Amino acid sequence: MKSQLTIYAALLLFILTFTQFNVITFAIDPCLELTDDYNSYKLSNCQPVKNKRNKRDTYNKRQRQSDIFRIETGVSCKKYCSKIKNIFLKAGRRISKVLTLNPEEPIYVYVVLKPLDRIKNLASTTPNKFMPLISEDRKTRLYPQALVKQFDLEFHSEYAHYDIVSKVNSDINWWWGDGQIKPNQYDLELVALHELIHGLGFKSSWTSKAESYSYEATGLTPIWYYYDINWSWKFAGFFETIFDRQVNFKNFNRISNFIINNTPTKSYYYVSKLNSTKPFNFTNKLIASKEWKYAKHILAEATTTHAITFEPLKHTEVKGPFYLETSLKPFIEGVNIINLSKEYKNSADFLMTYPFIKGSTLDSIVKNGNYESPFGPKTIAILESMGYSTPKHPYPTLPTFTFSYKYLNNKQHFEGWEK
């Protein structure tokens, strides 16, 4: 009798600064989903589900509805629950004015108010679930659930209840929208809007989680999987997010600070180089491998000013490339790469820069800067490049739900398993 194989998978977590390393079990094609405590990711069943509606709504018939975002709060928020809910709802309505969101698929957001591990973290937000889809260039990437909902694909993975999970630091002196903001306060609406954009998928897969928190990282890698068959650990490949598709590395010479060549290198090039490694069992094997030199190079780029850029797709109105945040050293998980460069702080793209502006309200920043909205052209171009629809660009290129283990490295290890 053919023995049933139990598959153990481990995911190095990459978004929340408090994320833990954990091992879980999955059955077939893996999606990434937050655990019940929302502190880490697990691999989850990713079977296709047929869309109950017709294939795809016509984008020009969609309405920019104000109730697309549905907010739920955790009991920990206590007396602030209603205020938090109203502020996040207001932020969601602002997003609905610039993105043409699918009215058939509300975006569910879960918000908790609690102390975070580091006092500097005002909030931490992540997609609740990522799904592996095939981009039109035939490469497998991880798409956030909120974005997958916009595509109205004929088949999709079963949706998790929440699309976005946001943790707000209870130790911060928040301005709740009452009276005059004080110099030492942060406008929660500004932070909520910034965090929701991250929850929509403004997230890179490049992380320092391959190494222990006990010492400074020596390299960055994308998300990777490994699994166990007959007590033998096997490597199953690295993956980038759809955001990473347009991320480019400019290849600076670290000594003289000049560009080695004028052609930037796409993120996927380094993903494929890391995927060329022989199967390994634990992270120490990865760090000792010859491919670790690429991880070191990415870390150096991620901490060198102007070394990493985002190149928007041609259908957007913004001429690229533009810089991502790489001026902070040492590398800060959840900050470097996944924000716009701080040099844009005094521009219309202030919203997605780091750190947050203290002592000013979101509305006052927009008014004083004479901006049309809190969303600058670079921020909108990033969302459009990922696949979000806007009034000016209503027809994004759709991915396909054809993910299979054959797209993973070392596919022979997946053959013959009982489903």
| pLDDT, one tens digit for every residue, the chain (419 residues) | 433 333 233 332 332 222 332 222 223 357 778 877 777 777 776 777 777 654 444 444 444 455 899 999 988 888 899 999 999 999 999 999 999 999 989 999 999 999 887 546 899 999 999 988 888 888 889 999 999 999 878 777 889 999 999 999 999 999 999 999 999 999 999 999 999 999 999 999 998 887 765 458 899 998 876 655 555 556 667 889 999 999 999 876 554 444 555 678 999 999 988 887 665 556 777 888 888 999 999 999 999 999 999 999 988 888 889 999 999 999 998 899 999 999 999 999 999 999 999 999 999 999 999 999 999 999 999 999 999 999 998 888 788 765 444 333 333 222 221 22
Structure confidence at residue 260 (pLDDT): 53
Structure confidence at residue 67 (pLDDT): 82
Whole-angstrom distance, CA of residue 51 vs CA of residue 155: 6
Whole-angstrom distance, CA of residue 358 vs CA of residue 339: 17
CA proximity to 309, closest of 387, 250, 354, 260: 250
Structure confidence at residue 379 (pLDDT): 97
Q: Are 233 and 281 in contact (CB under 8 A)?
A: yes
Structure confidence at residue 197 (pLDDT): 98
Domain segments of the chain as ranges: 48-199, 244-393
Looking at the DSSP bridge assignments, the partners of residue 224 are 238
* Cα–Cα distance list, 223 to 30, 204, 259, 306 (Å): 13, 9, 27, 24
Whole-angstrom distance, CA of residue 49 vs CA of residue 223: 25
Report the chain's terminal Cα–Cα distance, integer Å: 15
Structure confidence at residue 132 (pLDDT): 86
Query: pTM for the complete prediction?
Result: 0.85
- Burial class for 150, CB neighbours closer than 10 Å (0-12, 13-18, 19+): buried
